[in-house]
Amino acid sequence: MDKKDLRNKNLELLRSCLKQVRQATKPQLSEYAGLSVVTVNSLLHELLLRGEAFATDESESSGGRRAQTYSFNARRSLALIVYMHEKAGHDTVFISVDDLLGNTIDLSELQPEQINFDYFCEVLSPYFKRYPQISVVAIGLPGVVIKDKLIVIDYPQLKNTTFCRNLSARLNCPVIFENDINAAVAGYARSLGEKCRSETIVGIYFPQNYLPGAGIFLRGALYKGRDGIAGEIGRYFHIAKLKKKMGTAVHENKFMQKAAQAVLFFTLTWNPDSIVIYNEKLRPIHAPIIKELCKQELAEELLPKIKIKSDIYEDYGRGIRYLATAYLDNKK
């Protein structure tokens, strides 16, 4: 490693350290990062010049001169987060402006009458006037982008369009994309911390008005397949009737029937550690029932942990925000 590479590595180390602790003195940063005070002084000067850090009020000292404190500038770059999913059966757009620490500065929720390219341009453009620090737009939609085109999408007016490229040109800002269930399963996996790096997790989303879809998180990263359509089970996943009834009420519940069949499908194809099912009509108390349905076909020892969430919102939002933050971090 030459001097330039070493300096860049130390700079990234100091940047990450300051981002984690939010605020510290030079001696504290030296201790946290394992770098000499001389090195910290030089690198911190560079972060100050770039606007990635700023000097704050001097901290209390046990004696002598008060030590200068430095803070991470979380608003140097902002992300415009936009994602859509059903809420109470209605297509809903969630928009937020987030800083580099994941703090939400602005939040709104809309239910559009129609969903097309012009709608997104109209609602997103004003944010750039209010927040000129926006450096990326992270979009979450129920679809798949292949070679720049939205090939699979629930909204007809966006299908087969170069939506992200066109939006980037109109807003004059990079646009990154992830579909709803991929973002949700990534968000759920990230909530597990380091554990997600050693597990396979499948997320399955059953919206009320659209076809189901699935996302696969494989030991620390999303698995999308060759063209990005891994998990697009909606058009080809046919629900078979389970052989045995467990009472009329359970048998007639199509959501639990679908959920059980999907669990069996992904258990046999991916053998995951856990499966998260998103559906507004299901509750955590239904997980044991779904497991009993699955046990008609497979031994309990072969089944993954089954978790049910009636709301995809939290994990979906977490996943899109992580995608945006990762982009801004790598942009440096």
CATH of the domain at 42: 1.10.10.10
Examine the domain organization and report whether 134 and 168 are in the same domain: yes
Sign of CA pseudo-dihedral 238, 84, 203, 247? negative
Chain length of the chain: 332
Examine the domain organization and report whether 54 and 159 are in the same domain: no
Residue pLDDT, tens place only, 243-269: 444 444 444 467 788 889 999 999 999
Examine the domain organization and report whether 58 and 112 are in the same domain: no
Q: Which pLDDT belongs to residue 244?
A: 45
Residue pLDDT, tens place only, 290-326: 999 999 999 999 999 999 999 898 999 999 999 998 8
Q: Which pLDDT belongs to residue 318?
A: 93
Cα gap 10→249, rounded to integer Å: 62
Q: Which pLDDT belongs to residue 332?
A: 57
Examine the domain organization and report whether 206 and 306 are in the same domain: yes
Examine the domain organization and report whether 235 and 271 are in the same domain: yes
Does some domain include residue 171? yes
Is 163's pLDDT higher than 80?
A: yes
Q: Which pLDDT belongs to residue 239?
A: 45
The amino acid at residue 201 is I
% of residues, the chain, pLDDT over 90: 65
Backbone angles phi, psi at 288, to 5 degrees: -65, -35
Mean pLDDT computed over 165-170: 96
293: DSSP letter: H
CATH of the domain at 231: 3.30.420.40
Residue pLDDT, tens place only, 183-198: 999 999 999 999 999 9
Mean pLDDT computed over 223-241: 73
**Given 72, 94, 110, which residue is the final one in a domain?**
72
DSSP class per residue in 115-154: -SHHHHHHHHHHHHHH-TTEEEEEEEESEEEETTEEEEES
Is 16's pLDDT higher than 50?
A: yes
Q: How far is CA 215 from the centre of its chain?
A: 12
Give the number of domains in the chain. Answer: 3
Average pLDDT of the chain?
88
User: Domain limits at 259?
Assistant: 193-311
Examine the domain organization and report whether 220 and 170 are in the same domain: no
Partner residues linked to 214 by β-bridges? 204
Residue pLDDT, tens place only, 71-121: 999 999 999 999 988 787 788 999 999 999 989 999 999 999 889 999 999
pLDDT range class, residue 60, cuts 50, 70, 90: low
Does some domain include residue 187? no
Mean pLDDT computed over 203-212: 87
Is 226's pLDDT higher than 90?
A: no
Examine the domain organization and report whether 248 and 326 are in the same domain: no
**Given 72, 106, 121, which residue is the final one in a domain?**
72
Examine the domain organization and report whether 124 and 218 are in the same domain: no
Is 238's pLDDT higher than 80?
A: no
Partner residues linked to 67 by β-bridges? 59
Mean pLDDT computed over 46-65: 78
Q: Which pLDDT belongs to residue 61?
A: 55
Q: Which pLDDT belongs to residue 257?
A: 80
Counting beta carbons within 10 angstroms of the beta carbon of residue 99, is it exposed (0 to 12), middle (13 to 18) or buried (19 or more)? buried
Lowest mean pLDDT among 35-39, 145-149, 290-294: 145-149
Backbone angles phi, psi at 28, to 5 degrees: -65, -40
What residue has token string 């990234």?
A: 12
Does some domain include residue 235? yes
Mean pLDDT computed over 125-142: 95
Examine the domain organization and report whether 307 and 197 are in the same domain: yes
Examine the domain organization and report whether 60 and 15 are in the same domain: yes
59 SS3 class: strand
Is 24's pLDDT higher than 60?
A: yes
Examine the domain organization and report whether 117 and 171 are in the same domain: yes
